[in-house]
Chains A and B, each alone.
Chain A
Amino acid sequence: MTSGAIGDLKMDGIGTVAGGVYRTVNINGVCKVDEDIAAQKFDVKGRIRIRGNLTADELDVDGTMSVGGALSAERASFDGVVTIEGGYAGQQLRMNGMLEVGGDCEADVIEGEGAFKIGGLLNAGTIRLKLQGRGSAREIGGETICIGKGRTGAWHALWKWMVPGIAPELKAGVVEGDDIELDHATADIVRGDRVAIGPGCVIGRVEYQTELRKHPSARIGEEARLHG
């Protein structure tokens, strides 16, 4: 993003903010944006609702955020609940909490803990997620995909409060990647080079090339080794 004579935005309290292009945006409180908004650095503490699209180089959310359009953020860090009706595109995403994306979710690296719901394709070079609630996506694709149940510890009670009533498990139609490691997952098809199916998995069909490791408690409908 090029920075000409563009201003900063800082808001504390409750209010509505005009859209447009900013250098840095700092919001503490409850805020509404009715148009598209773009910034190099976008920092939210509290609650924000954006009707349009959000574009940021660096995005940090502590609290809840909902975006009516699409979100594009090179580096994003979410702590809390983030809902995006369109798609998400970026490079690095670190999440702690609940992420909901209506369209496709694409990044080079996605890491974190919590729960997610992706309407379309979850596509990332590396996906490392620990589930504290349900994770679901129509399709998951990437190079390294590692999704499993998160640890239960001191924070567990808090997690249960944030994401109530849903067991930590993954549900996906198709999972495709080079290295796949899953546990507590339900999927129709898993295809990959090196595949590890952990405890609690129910998989319709697994196709692999180099190796398949499976936990005794995993249920797999069909297995096929492909020679690529």
Chain B
Amino acid sequence: MERELISKKDLLELTGISYGQLYRWKRKQLIPEDWFIRKSTFTGQETFFPKDMILARIDRIMNMKEDLSLDELAGKLSPYQVDLTLSKRELIERNIVSVLVVDRFSTLAQQNGQEAYSFEQLLYLYATDRLLSDGEISLEESGMLMETLRNHFPRFEGKPCELLFMRKMGVSMFALVAAPPALYFDPGVKIVIKMQLTELAEQLRGELN
């Protein structure tokens, strides 16, 4: 799945922002470094961005900018460091994750409502719920997914990573890889899911706010 890119020039034209603004946001780390994709074109070096992500981000910056300084904004936009917790009741009431997934993968304290969910835990539930409700994975496999995320996701320390789900001859497996990955398999392997966790975190934050 090749992601759609937008050139810097088209981006500025589309959003009406100036070069100066773009560079300032980059300086304030409102736009992550690895979204700047440099490519050679016939006019020389051009910079491209992942289209859906950059457009969503610019939209958020423009909407939030009125009542926050740029430095405050930077804290709000970093992908995982969201100091936000949610109780089980809120989680189900706001319909962010289905009851089935919440019940299955919560600790006892979280079930009773004594303990809240951290953003990372929410992200795991959100990812699992998404794949389950899309019918991509079975309930049994969802357990495997949760285990993979819990054990290995923190090791990326906020760096961008992708979740891969593969099947071969009826055997399924999950993998977390640093993005952008270059992985090639034998022809018997079918990659069922390739999911950007950074992007998912972004969507989750959109729903939480």
Give A contacts to B, CB under 8 Å.
106, 108, 123-125, 141-144, 173-174, 176-178, 188-189, 191-193, 204-205, 207, 226, 228
B180 at interface (Cβ–Cβ under 8 A)? no
Q: Which of B16, B20, B45 contacts A178 (CB 8 A)?
A: B20
Residues in B with CB closer than 8 Å to A177 are 19-20, 23
Whether B23 pairs with A141 at a CB distance below 8 angstroms is: yes
Instruction: Using A174-B45, A204-B44, A226-B9 as known contacts, say yes or no to A192 and B19 having CB atoms under 8 A apart.
Output: yes
How many A-B pairs fall under 8 Å by CB? 56
Q: A142-B23, A143-B18, A226-B13 are in contact. List 15 more A-B contacts (CB 8 A).
A: A106-B27, A142-B19, A142-B20, A173-B44, A174-B44, A176-B19, A176-B23, A188-B44, A188-B45, A191-B9, A191-B19, A205-B43, A205-B44, A207-B9, A226-B9
Q: Which of A174, A193, A205 contacts B18 (CB 8 A)?
A: A193
The minimal Cβ–Cβ distance linking B139 to chain A, given in whole angstroms, is 47
Instruction: Using A188-B44, A189-B43, A189-B44 as known contacts, say yes or no to A143 and B13 having CB atoms under 8 A apart.
Output: no
Q: Which of A141, A173, A188, A204 contacts B19 (CB 8 A)?
A: A141
The minimal Cβ–Cβ distance linking B8 to chain A, given in whole angstroms, is 8
Whether A228 pairs with B16 at a CB distance below 8 angstroms is: yes
The minimal Cβ–Cβ distance linking B179 to chain A, given in whole angstroms, is 21
The minimal Cβ–Cβ distance linking A189 to chain B, given in whole angstroms, is 6
Residues in A with CB closer than 8 Å to B19 are 141-143, 176-178, 191-193
B12 at interface (Cβ–Cβ under 8 A)? yes
Give B contacts to A, CB under 8 Å.
9, 12-13, 16, 18-24, 26-27, 43-45
How many angstroms from the CA of A184 to the CA of B27 in the assembled complex? 27
Residue of B nearest to A126 (CB): B20
Most buried by B among A141, A174, A189: A141
Residue of B nearest to A193 (CB): B18
How many angstroms from the CA of A212 to the CA of B84 in the assembled complex? 49
How many angstroms from the CA of A125 to the CA of B45 in the assembled complex? 22
Whether A228 pairs with B13 at a CB distance below 8 angstroms is: yes
Residue of A nearest to B18 (CB): A178
The minimal Cβ–Cβ distance linking A203 to chain B, given in whole angstroms, is 12
Instruction: Using A177-B19, A178-B20 as known contacts, say yes or no to A123 and B26 having CB atoms under 8 A apart.
Output: yes
The minimal Cβ–Cβ distance linking B34 to chain A, given in whole angstroms, is 13
Residues in A with CB closer than 8 Å to B21 are 143
Most buried by B among A142, A144, A207: A142
The minimal Cβ–Cβ distance linking B184 to chain A, given in whole angstroms, is 31
Residues in B with CB closer than 8 Å to A173 are 44-45
Residue of B nearest to A174 (CB): B45
